[in-house]
Amino acid sequence: MDFDNTARTELSELGEFGLIKHLTQHIKLNHPSTIKGVGDDAAVLSFKDEQTVVTTDMLVEGVHFDLTYVPLKHLGYKSIMVNLSDVYAMNATPTQVLVSFAISSRFSLEAIEELYAGMLLACNKMEVDLVGGDTTSNVSGLVISITAIGKAKADEIVYRNGAKETNLLCVSGDLGGAYMGLQILEREKAVFKENPNIQPDLSGKDYILERQLKPEARKDIIDLFKELKIQPTSMIDVSDGLSSEILHLTTLSDVGVDLYEEKIPIDQETYDTAREFNLDPSLCALNGGEDYELLFTVDMSDYEKIKNKNAISIIGHITNKSKGLNMIAKDGTVHPIKAQGWNALKK
């Protein structure tokens, strides 16, 4: 665990309430919907005429992150961003978050300050209010739980089940980068275990490492929808891999899909790194996960609005359910799409 402050203060010196007071003393509120933030038994929020969306996510050491190579500040930042991504996937605006963590005695105050600093950095960047949470002890490791709250007009919320036949299938950004960043980090961890004197070789991998360690929720895409007056018919964020997310959308919408492999957006650094590892770049994009891009469908009439937008790729179209879920490979052959991405409860 590397952090800027090398002093060590035991959490037992502050106790739970002292820690909460210490961490939350610099919180600034951005939203009029936050009537009361931290400091009472519960936060008080008021959204008046808009609907509220709520999502929660848990990150567990040894399952979702490895502190051998994940800086605590980056972890805090990422834990907020991955939750905000779920709010944006509803075409909603995140407004508040609740932050809870369970910590073992191996973590000092300075370590938790680093974690919290990353969380506040993400909150401030996305103009979200941190309004409460909980801290508790844990016999081993670190567990982080974030709840994100957002708002949207009732007729603007987008669900996963609205895809219609002939809709265009689109995705923001590029895919597979976070997975390849993880491969680099795992490789260098293995090298370090063999010989702690060898410095990690991370040169030329900045983009994919950032995709893994410091993902950005796609607020800009939601803003673009509003600017272009586009209402997606269905949407989901790409957390578990493109194939898994396509399966979610099509199953819940009761439709089929034709996905074109050549249209899947893959950054050159991701592509080259996949080849270094003897991996198929397209499979990394399909099954890797943790990209936190937005996968969505739009009506064919919106084609002219999005066709020249660099942030959006049209990767396929929705078909009748009877045609199944198909990927048309670069060589023209057709393959069934199978969900082989991240599954938290699968061995």
Average pLDDT, the chain: 89
For 16, 110, 114, 296, the CA distances from 6, given in Å and listed in that order, are 22, 8, 11, 45
pLDDT tens across 189-206, in order? 999 888 888 888 888 999
Residue 163 lies in a domain: no
Band of pLDDT at residue 309, cut at 50, 70 and 90? very high
Q: Is 124 left (phi over 0), alpha (psi -120 to 50) or beta?
A: alpha
Query: Pick the residue with more confidence: 263 or 136?
Result: 263
| Per-residue model confidence (pLDDT) at position 17 | 54
- Does 303 share its domain with 179? yes
pLDDT tens across 144-156, in order? 999 999 998 989 9
Structural domain harbouring 265: 168-336
Domain count across the chain: 2
- Does 238 share its domain with 271? yes
- Does 113 share its domain with 186? no
Question: The whole model's pTM is what?
Answer: 0.88
| Per-residue model confidence (pLDDT) at position 40 | 53
CB-facing half-sphere around the CA of 274: CA atoms within 13 A: 21
| Per-residue model confidence (pLDDT) at position 41 | 52
Query: Which of 121, 156, 191 lies at the terminal end of a domain, its last residue?
Result: 156
- Does 182 share its domain with 288? yes
- Does 28 share its domain with 127? yes
| Per-residue model confidence (pLDDT) at position 342 | 47
- Decide: helix, strand or coil at residue 322: helix
| Per-residue model confidence (pLDDT) at position 46 | 74
CATH of the domain at 94: 3.30.1330.10
- Does 175 share its domain with 131? no
pLDDT tens across 240-298, in order? 999 999 999 999 999 999 999 999 999 999 999 999 999 999 999 999 999 999 999 99
CATH of the domain at 205: 3.90.650.10
Which residues, 6 or more positions from 210, have their beta carbon under 8 angstroms from its beta carbon? 181
| Per-residue model confidence (pLDDT) at position 5 | 52
Query: Which of 97, 127, 156 lies at the terminal end of a domain, its last residue?
Result: 156
